[in-house]
Amino acid sequence: MEKQLLALLTVTLLTSAAYFMNGKDGSLTLEGQFSSWKQQHGKRYSDFEEVHRFSVFAQNLAVVMEHNSKFELGQETFTLGMNQFADLTPEEFQASYLTLKPQAQERQNVKSFSGLRFPDTVDWKEGLTVKNQGNCGSCWAFSAAAALEAALHHQKKEKVNISEQEFVDCTTAKLGYESEGCNGGWMDDAFDYTVNYGVATEEEYPYKGVDQACKTGLKKKYYIDSFVDVEPLSSDALHEAIAKTPVSVAIKADGIMFQLYSGGIYSRTCSAKKIDDLNHGVLAVGYAKDSYTIKNSWGAGWGEKGYMRLAIIAAKEGQCGIHWVPSYPVF
C-alpha cells in the first residue's frame, strides 16, 4: 500500500510540475514525455499495463532527475537517462536481463599475474560492434562471442560476427554443459564449446533471442585452441590480461543506477563478495587510471553508446565484482 501511495504521489507531483526528459520545452507534460518515450522505443501496452508502466516511468524519471541534479553539483561521477529500460522496476529488470549462472567448479588453466609492467591505458573499442541481446537472458553468450570477435579482429585482422544463437542453442546439458540458453549461462561453457565444436557466424546462424534446437551441418566453423581463466581477485592480473586482448568478465549489475546508467564513471557501491553475487556477463575492452571500460549487450542506446566505465577501486573483488572470474579465448 505504501508503494502504491508513493507511486501516486510521484505521478501527481511530476504531472503538476510538467517536467521534461531534456529540460528544453516547458510545455511538454509527463504524459507527453511518456508518449514520446513509448514511440521512440516501440513500446505498446494493454490498457491495464499502461497504468503500471506509466507509474514506473514516473518514479524512474524522478530518480533520474534527482541524480542528475547531483551530478551537475559535482556530487556524482555519472549520469542516468530514460533509456529502453525506463518502464521497468529494478526487480523486473533483474528477472529479465541479469541471468548469468556462475559455476562453482574449479577453474582451469588459470593465468596469474606475471609481474611484468603493463600499459597505463588500453582501449580495444575500435572496430567492435555493440549488439542487443533483447529479452533473452543470453548475456553470457554475447560476452563470449564479443571476446571471440575482438580477438579475431585485433589478432587475426578478421571482421567476423560470431553466432550468439549457436551458444544459446547448443551449449546445453545435452553436450555436458550447465548453461541454459535464454535462462542464463556461463562464458567458459561457450569457450569450451568453441574448442570442441567450433562456432558459426551470425550470418549463417542468426540470432533469434529464443531457445531453439541446436542446428547441425553448418558450413564454416571458427575454433579456438583453448581459453584462459585469469587469476581471480587480482587487479594486476586483469590489467595484464586486458593489455593482451579484450576479456570476458562477470559483474553484479542490479539496481536502478546500473539499469538507467547513461555516462561517466560508475562509482556507486556495487560489491560482489562472492561468485554467486555475479549476474551479468560483459566484455572488458580497456582501462584507464580510474576506470575499466566494459562493452555491454543492451544496444547502443544504453550507457555510452553501449559501453560503461566502471570505477577502479581498492577492494580485491573490484567494482561490481569484475575481478572475480575473467577469462578469454586463445587462438
Strands 261-266 and 78-80: antiparallel
Based on the residue annotation, tell me whether 296 is a catalytic residue of this protein: yes
What whole-number distance in Å separates Cα of residue 172 and Cα of residue 186? 11
**Alpha helices (H) along 89-234:** 90-97, 139-151, 164-170, 187-197
Q: How far apart are CA 123 and CA 295, in angstroms?
A: 11
Type of residue numbered 240: E
Q: Which of 67, 153, 239, 280 is catalytic?
A: 280
As given in the structure block, the three cell numbers for residue 171 are 551449449
Q: Beta strand pairing status for 226-230 and 261-266?
A: unpaired
**DSSP class of 303:** T
In the chain, DSSP assigns E strands to 78-80, 110-111, 122-123, 226-230, 247-251, 261-266, 280-287, 291-295, 307-311, 327-330
Buried b (16+ CB within 10 A) or exposed e, 172-200: beeeebbbbbbebbbbbbbbbbbeebebb
Active site residue 139: yes
Which is catalytic among the residues 139, 170, 182, 270? Answer: 139
- The amino acid that residue 239 corresponds to is H
141 neighbors 115 (Cβ within 8 angstroms):
no
Q: Per the residue annotation, which of 270, 296, 320, 323 is the catalytic one?
A: 296
Q: How far are the Cα atoms of 38, 285, 286 from residue 44, in angstroms, in the given order?
A: 7, 35, 38
Active site residues: 139, 280, 296
